[in-house]
Amino acid sequence: MSQLEIKNLHVAIGEKEIVKGLTLTIQSGEVHAIMGPNGTGKSTLSKAIAGHPDYTITSGEVLLDGKSILELEADERARAGLFLAFQYPSEIPGVSIANFLRAAQQARMAEGEELDASAYYKRLYSKMDLLKIDRKFTSRSVNEGFSGGEKKRCEILQMAMLEPKFSLMDETDSGLDIDALRIVADGVNTMRGPNLGVLLITHYQRLLDYIVPDHVHVMWDGRIVKSGDKSLALELEAKGYDWVKKELAAATA
Amino acid sequence: MSQPPESGTLETTTENPVVGIDQTKGDFQYKMDYEFDAGTGLNENTVRYISSVKKEAPWILDFRLKALKTFLEKPMPTHWATKDLENINFDKIRYYLASGQKPKRTWDEVPDDIKKTFERLGIPEQERKFLAGVEAQFDSEAAYSNIKDLVAKQGVIFANSTEALREHPEIFRKFFGKVIPTGDNKFSALNSAVFSGGSFIYVPPGVKVAQPLQAYFRINAENFGQFERTLIIADEGSEVVYMEGCTAPKFSTSTLHSAVVELVALKGAKIQYITVQNWANNVFNLVTKRGVAHEEAEIKWIDCNIGSRLTMKYPGVVLKGRKARGEVISIALANDGQHQDTGAKMIHAADETTSNIVAKSISVGQGRSTYRGLVHIPKNLKGCKNNTECDALLINTNSRTDTYPAITVRGDRNATQHEASVSKVNEEMIFYMQQRGLTEGQAMSLAVNGFINDLARQFPMEYSVELKRLIDLEMEGSVG
């Protein structure tokens, strides 16, 4: 059992504060969804936790199993068990998915230890079968010339292979068509289980038709302003974000 | 012991602090006592000394002395090339250092320290595994030279230039200095004056050498100049693959490597020449390489330039016979403090000749890459084709890359195609890879390997593995 704790987190890009004191705890086995309008800091939150150099954590804590990860480099956080499914994943020309994942696995091994190539491919193929991905897919260069759906498939396959403790899935505003939505949903549902915690970032409720969350949080202006179970997402869908805004205004008035 | 021509400036030992030891495989040195030493500096006596030690025929001495005159007369090409050339002090260089003139045929006979050197570089092991023959040059002369019996029985000659001049003058003289004349440039003149070592290969008509022949050039002494001379002749319908590797320890002063390589592919012959150089970063590497491809012949240069302080090298093919084909595949990696000035030359001199140039350069930190290309198709020819692609990859904003393609295509019965691109490894891409658990160095290394992947796949497997390893080392070292 693992635990990811975000405590009163403040994040800035340059001088501008984007996340303004966010607190959230995720346990293994749980799926949390963060919803909110554009520009409210959802993507910033996930990138800051993953250790992107452009995002400065000005105060607060992020603890993985009780230990702070804020002093760790992005790659160290990844090896500690954090995975970020990118909204806009980078292209890596000339590097096949299979070789990329192999390098990522090799990076997790002790110095001097060599990855067993045949065991690796066996595992890769079993994950691909599980996710119903064509064998030819992994000989293509990472994300190069990929459609939106292919990019999602590539992220999900990486997640399946790297078996993180926590996956931060940044799906905001990516204009997912229904196929891409299904790929993400099927992937997460397949991997869902006691060893994986998920933070699902989404703008629209419809993704939650496919991935049913245990907890739903509404983010507004850099903070979580409302939390509830899956019914909160439906309420939000019905009433719109203005409803939250009004409630908030009433509370602070 | 032979006496050097000059006294006072002679250094009898080669004591050197090995500065800045790192993980680089080639960075080590054994202390040597050289039996033959031409002293420091260059004049007529130096040339006479080298020629007499080698017991050369008078025409060779004559050739050398004329070349020395040409070298001294020619200005440095700094009107187009880097001013860094002016930092070469020709008076401080040692032009000939050898322990003997005759290479050994078995590794057991090779002196211990030299043998240890090549064992550390993995040469005997590679020879056993996949090579048809090996020549291992230590400073000025080959310490070891051997060819597998099976290949020798086919009539293939594989020797160093000293031996070949003595034993096969009739073939050597016919082709020697014909592809690259002494006066081609200042450094080809220098090489022609003081050349020593390098390979001589002759492949008889119709013989296809199944495994590659390999030469390894090792610089061991400080303030030394290595001037090997290689001549490869593939007779009609024959095929040969030649590979060369080079390393030197890191010294506090600079070292000069200035080779001349001439290839002759007669009718229907194929020569593939592969270089993976990994010079320490204070080596001036100024090399002239050119081949002549006769009718329906093919010459392919695969040239990987890693390391050195300054490399200037533009492998070329003169497409002399109808339907001849020339190709240059070039990879250059310029790290901090390095300048890779590389490219290709294709001189079309017959109808229906085709040439292909693919050059990829990687500039890291303050490293600088320059591509210079020359493609010449005269007006009277028809059916000629050239394809040129140059791609540059920049890793961080201080890197610099320049492209100088010169394509002269006259007449309207020929076709050329030129593409160039510059791309950057950006922060987002590195972050993406780091997020998957790769360190910054591993991420950059993977990006670079991806960039050259389509070219590296054309290499023999052993060499693409070596190239990948070298890139990994360079990129690991480049992360602050």
pLDDT at B21: 26
Residue of B118, B103, B107 lying closest to B220 (CA atoms): B118
Residue of B215, B212, B208 lying closest to B229 (CA atoms): B215
Inter-chain contact B450–A94, Cβ cutoff 8 Å?
A: yes
Residues 6+ positions from B23 with CB-CB distance below 8 Å = B473, B476, B477
**Which of A52, A53, A104 has its CB closest to that of B437?**
A104
CB atoms within 10 A of CB B411: 12
Q: What's the rounded mean pLDDT across residues B165-169? A: 91
pLDDT digits (tens, 9 = 90+) for B414-424: 898 888 888 88
Q: Is the pLDDT of residue B24 over 60?
A: no
DSSP one-letter code for B208: B
pLDDT at B23: 32
Q: Are B284 and B314 in contact (CB under 8 A)?
A: no
Task: Lowest mean pLDDT of A132-146, B46-60, B217-231, B302-316, name the range.
Answer: B217-231
* Angstrom distance (rounded) from CA A15 to CA B80: 47
Q: What's the rounded mean pLDDT across residues B112-131? A: 82
- Percentage of residues in chain A having pLDDT higher than 70: 98
Looking up tokens 């303030």, which residue turns up? B223
* Angstrom distance (rounded) from CA B469 to CA B471: 5
The token duo for A58 is 């000005």
pLDDT at A195: 95
- Percentage of residues in chain B having pLDDT higher than 90: 55
Partners of B434 on chain A (C-beta within 8 Å) are 51, 73-75, 78
pLDDT at B76: 94
* Angstrom distance (rounded) from CA B66 to CA B434: 59
Three-class SS state of B443: helix
Number of structural domains (chain B) is 1
The token duo for B280 is 């320490």
- Percentage of residues in chain A having pLDDT higher than 90: 75
Residue A69's φ and ψ, nearest 5 degrees, are -105, 0
- B458/chain A closest Cα distance in angstroms: 14
Q: Is the pLDDT of residue B36 over 50?
A: yes
**What residues of B are in the A interface, CB distance below 8 Å?**
423, 426-429, 431-440, 442-443, 446-447, 449-454
pLDDT at A203: 81
Q: Are B188 and B182 in contact (CB under 8 A)?
A: yes
The rounded mean pLDDT for chain A is 92
Q: What's the rounded mean pLDDT across residues A183-209? A: 91
Question: With bands split at pLDDT 50, 70 and 90, how would you rate the model's confidence at B25?
Answer: low
Q: Is the pLDDT of residue B399 over 80?
A: no
Domain A3-252 part of CATH 3.30.470.20:
no
Inter-chain contact B439–A94, Cβ cutoff 8 Å?
A: no
Inter-chain contact A158–B436, Cβ cutoff 8 Å?
A: yes
Q: Is the pLDDT of residue A190 over 80?
A: yes
What is the residue range of B469's domain?
428-480
Partners of A162 on chain B (C-beta within 8 Å) are 436-437
* Angstrom distance (rounded) from CA B60 to CA A58: 75
Looking up tokens 């040692």, which residue turns up? B94
B106 beta partners: none
Q: Is the pLDDT of residue A149 over 90?
A: no
pLDDT at A174: 58
pLDDT digits (tens, 9 = 90+) for A161-187: 999 999 999 986 556 778 778 888 999
Question: With bands split at pLDDT 50, 70 and 90, how would you rate the model's confidence at B22?
Answer: very low
Q: What's the rounded mean pLDDT across residues B21-47? A: 75
Q: CB distance from A92 to chain B under 8 Å?
A: yes
Task: Lowest mean pLDDT of A34-38, A43-47, A215-219, B48-52, name the range.
Answer: A34-38
Question: With bands split at pLDDT 50, 70 and 90, how would you rate the model's confidence at B458?
Answer: confident
Partners of A99 on chain B (C-beta within 8 Å) are 446
Task: Please name the residue of chain A whose CA is at the shortest distance from the CA of residue B423.
Answer: A93
Q: CB distance from A95 to chain B under 8 Å?
A: yes
* Angstrom distance (rounded) from CA A160 to CA A178: 21
Partners of A158 on chain B (C-beta within 8 Å) are 436
Residue type at position A54: D
> What sign for the dihedral angle of Cα A11, A16, A21, A24?
negative
Residue of A175, A214, A219 lying closest to A201 (CA atoms): A219
Inter-chain contact B446–A103, Cβ cutoff 8 Å?
A: yes
Three-class SS state of B26: coil
pLDDT at B85: 94
Partners of B451 on chain A (C-beta within 8 Å) are 93-94
- A85/chain B closest Cα distance in angstroms: 9
pLDDT digits (tens, 9 = 90+) for A9-53: 999 999 999 999 999 999 999 999 999 888 899 999 999 999 999
Task: Please name the residue of chain A whose CA is at the shortest distance from the CA of residue B440.
Answer: A75
Inter-chain contact A107–B431, Cβ cutoff 8 Å?
A: no
Q: CB distance from A50 to chain B under 8 Å?
A: yes
Residue of A42, A55, A74, A64 lying closest to A200 (CA atoms): A42
Task: Lowest mean pLDDT of A84-98, A132-146, B253-267, B404-418, name the range.
Answer: B404-418
**Which of A51, A92, A103 has its CB closest to that of B429?**
A92
Residues 6+ positions from B99 with CB-CB distance below 8 Å = B32, B34, B35, B36, B111, B114, B138, B141, B143
Three-class SS state of B96: coil
Residue B458 lies in a domain: yes
Inter-chain contact A52–B453, Cβ cutoff 8 Å?
A: no
pLDDT digits (tens, 9 = 90+) for A113-130: 999 999 999 999 999 999
Residue B473 lies in a domain: yes
The token duo for B152 is 């020798």
Partners of A78 on chain B (C-beta within 8 Å) are 434-437
Q: Is the pLDDT of residue B13 over 70?
A: no
pLDDT at A251: 77
**What does each C-alpha distance from B312 to A3, B82, B99 come to in angstroms?**
57, 10, 29
Inter-chain contact B435–A78, Cβ cutoff 8 Å?
A: yes
Residue ranges of alpha helices (H) inside A163-204 are 178-191
What angle separates helix B58-73 from helix B186-194, to the nearest 10 degrees? 150
Task: Lowest mean pLDDT of B43-47, B56-60, B86-90, B469-473, name the range.
Answer: B469-473
Inter-chain contact B431–A52, Cβ cutoff 8 Å?
A: yes
Task: Lowest mean pLDDT of B150-164, B238-252, B285-299, name the range.
Answer: B238-252
The token duo for B197 is 């070592």
Q: Is the pLDDT of residue A194 over 90?
A: yes
Residue type at position A216: V
Q: What's the rounded mean pLDDT across residues B362-385? A: 92
Q: Is the pLDDT of residue A214 over 80?
A: yes
Question: With bands split at pLDDT 50, 70 and 90, how would you rate the model's confidence at B1?
Answer: very low
HSE at residue A105, side-chain half, CA atoms within 13 A, is 21
Partners of A91 on chain B (C-beta within 8 Å) are 429
Q: Are A42 and A172 in contact (CB under 8 A)?
A: yes
pLDDT at B20: 27
**Which of A73, A89, A95 has its CB closest to that of B450?**
A95
Task: Lowest mean pLDDT of B85-89, B298-302, B425-429, name the range.
Answer: B425-429
Residue of A189, A253, A192, A245 lying closest to A221 (CA atoms): A245
B408 beta partners: B376
Q: Is the pLDDT of residue A192 over 90?
A: yes
The token duo for B258 is 């200035």
Inter-chain contact A75–B440, Cβ cutoff 8 Å?
A: yes
Q: From the candidates A75, A79, A87, A97, which should be mutated to test the interface with B, based on the most B CB atoms within 10 A?
A: A75
Q: Is the pLDDT of residue B33 over 80?
A: no
Q: Is the pLDDT of residue A83 over 60?
A: yes
- A47/chain B closest Cα distance in angstroms: 10
* Angstrom distance (rounded) from CA B441 to CA B434: 9
As for the ipTM of the complex, it is: 0.96
Residue B444 lies in a domain: yes
Return the number of CB contacts < 8 Å for A and B.
78
Residue B185's φ and ψ, nearest 5 degrees, are -160, 170
Q: What's the rounded mean pLDDT across residues B425-432? A: 91
* Angstrom distance (rounded) from CA B471 to CA B463: 12
* Angstrom distance (rounded) from CA B146 to CA B326: 29
